[in-house]
């Protein structure tokens, strides 16, 4: 008989900029709450955050619901929403079951753990996280205002670390930006390293950061050829912090569309990726649209 653990490190998802829907992967809604492990051993119940902080005082209804489960021992993994005392009803969105009735389930594939999970007698405030089966699940996520999605390999084991078998796809903002420069490629990369992009604010050309992902090799070479023809000696950015020391500067004429998670407090793009090159937008009309 396996020994019931006092604690286990929760499996964490790796942030990705990829968007895909292929066999062997399943998708779940990403909730913006408190990641919480629920431990029940006999009459003892503990609700612990990712950092092992006790949460039973904040979620007494969830604590009571775990205590009422008809199992001698169980560990559930999920996201808690609506803390006690808030207007919203507290809910525990459960997406995994690492342990049940003296069985360590962490070495089972996700598909088998999900079968176990779907057989558990959950009632609110315990809620089973639904699987998203849309052809383009991230489009639904962003359309409905979710924080994003978690993509999981169906045969993934429950790893006690941040794993590439679970991927975090956050909903993106999009922004048209103007290329003001670029860096040289490194290693096996061709064409260019990253685009240096910005937007206009009155007469100022403001630096918004570097965009280094989302390119094909063909596009890298095509952009390099276009940018070489626009090269100038001095930076066109008039309002800039943290410009790279080694860069090529260009006349700000090429407009690109960029996906990103958010603006940082320093006015830079967080996790940007190239979505495409715009040919229908004059550079002079590009302003910061997302605050």
Question: What backbone phi and psi angles, to 5 degrees, belong to 144?
Answer: -95, 5
Strand partners, 205: 200
Return the closest-CA partner of residue 100 out of 38, 47, 13. Answer: 38
Q: Evaluate the CA torsion angle 272, 274, 276, 281 in order and state its sign.
A: positive
Q: Report the 10 Å Cβ neighbour count for 195.
A: 26
Q: Report the 10 Å Cβ neighbour count for 46.
A: 18
Place of tokens 């066999």: 23
Residues near 229 by beta carbon (within 8 Å), at least 6 away in sequence: none
**Residues taking part in catalysis:** 30
Q: In Å, how far from its chain's centre is CA 171?
A: 7
């Amino acid at each position: 008989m396996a020994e019931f653990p006092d604690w286990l490190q929760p499996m964490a998802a790796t942030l990705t900029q990829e968007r895909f829907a292929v066999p062997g992967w399943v998708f779940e809604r990403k909730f913006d709450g408190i990641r919480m492990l629920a431990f029940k051993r006999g009459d003892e119940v503990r609700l612990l955050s990712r950092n092992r902080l006790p949460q039973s005082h904040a979620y007494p209804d969830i604590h009571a619901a775990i205590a009422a489960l008809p199992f001698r021992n169980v560990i559930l993994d999920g996201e808690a929403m609506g803390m006690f005392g808030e207007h919203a009803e507290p809910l525990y969105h459960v997406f995994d079951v690492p342990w049940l009735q003296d069985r360590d389930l962490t070495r089972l594939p996700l598909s088998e753990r999900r079968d176990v999970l779907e057989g558990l007698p959950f009632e609110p405030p315990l809620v089973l996280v639904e699987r998203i089966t849309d052809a383009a699940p991230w489009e639904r996520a962003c359309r409905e205002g979710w924080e994003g999605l978690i993509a999981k390999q169906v045969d993934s084991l429950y790893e006690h670390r941040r794993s590439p078998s679970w991927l975090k796809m956050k909903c993106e903002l999009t922004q048209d930006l103007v290329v003001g420069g670029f860096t040289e490629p490194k290693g096996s990369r061709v064409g260019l390293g990253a685009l240096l992009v910005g937007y206009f604010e009155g007469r100022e050309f403001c630096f918004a950061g570097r965009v280094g992902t989302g390119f094909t090799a063909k596009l890298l070479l095509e952009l390099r050829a276009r940018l070489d023809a626009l090269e100038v000696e001095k930076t066109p950015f008039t309002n800039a912090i943290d410009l790279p020391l080694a860069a090529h500067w260009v006349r700000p004429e090429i407009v690109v569309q960029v996906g990103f998670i958010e603006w940082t407090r320093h006015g830079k793009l967080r996790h940007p990726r190239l979505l495409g090159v715009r040919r229908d937008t004059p550079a002079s009309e590009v302003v910061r649209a997302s605050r």
